[in-house]
Amino acid sequence: MRRAIILLVFAGLWIIATACSSGQQGQDPAKIKVELSTDPVTVQAGQKVKLTATIAGLVKEEGANVQIDIRKSDNSLLPDTKDAQTVGNGQYSAEKIFDKPGTYSIYIHLYQGDLHITKKKELEVS
């Protein structure tokens, strides 16, 4: 029972924080779309890859910061967070060398003022 109450309190706080942050920016988080692309398209372990997050739906791009959070899908490795650099037109890039093949969860964190949106994408590394 105590655990359920704590979860409800945190859920309520999250809803309030989300509502406040989206209202302050004039931004509807549901309208933000994120695509992840890689260069090269087929990612191989031991090879440098450019990860590019393309973000659409922002009311304004000024002041937006993007982090790319890379995790092994089975949580066998610690997360690796990269600060993405803006390349224009809603695109943010970072480079990574994946040490091991497998499935990775890529969390794209968008920060703009009080707004924080996270989108998850999957990436296969051979």
- pTM score, two decimals? 0.75
Q: What is the pLDDT of residue 4?
A: 47
Q: What is the pLDDT of residue 28?
A: 86
23 is in which domain, residue-wise?
2-125
Separation between Cα atoms, residue 21 and residue 112, nearest integer Å: 9
Check: CB of residue 92 under 8 Å from CB of residue 52: yes
* pLDDT(8) > 70: no
- Which of the 8 DSSP states describes residue 30? G
Residues in CB range of 1: below 8 A, 6 or more apart: none
Q: Residues 19-74: pLDDT tens digits?
A: 444 444 478 888 899 999 999 999 999 999 999 999 999 888 888 999 999 999 88
Which residues share a beta bridge with 85?
93
Tell me the CATH number at 114.
2.60.40.10
Separation between Cα atoms, residue 82 and residue 78, nearest integer Å: 13
Pick from 116, 33, 121, 110: nearest CA to 70: 121
- Which of the 8 DSSP states describes residue 61? -
Pair of tokens at residue 9: 């309190």
Task: Between 82 and 62, name the one with better pLDDT.
Answer: 82
Domain count of the fold of the chain? 1
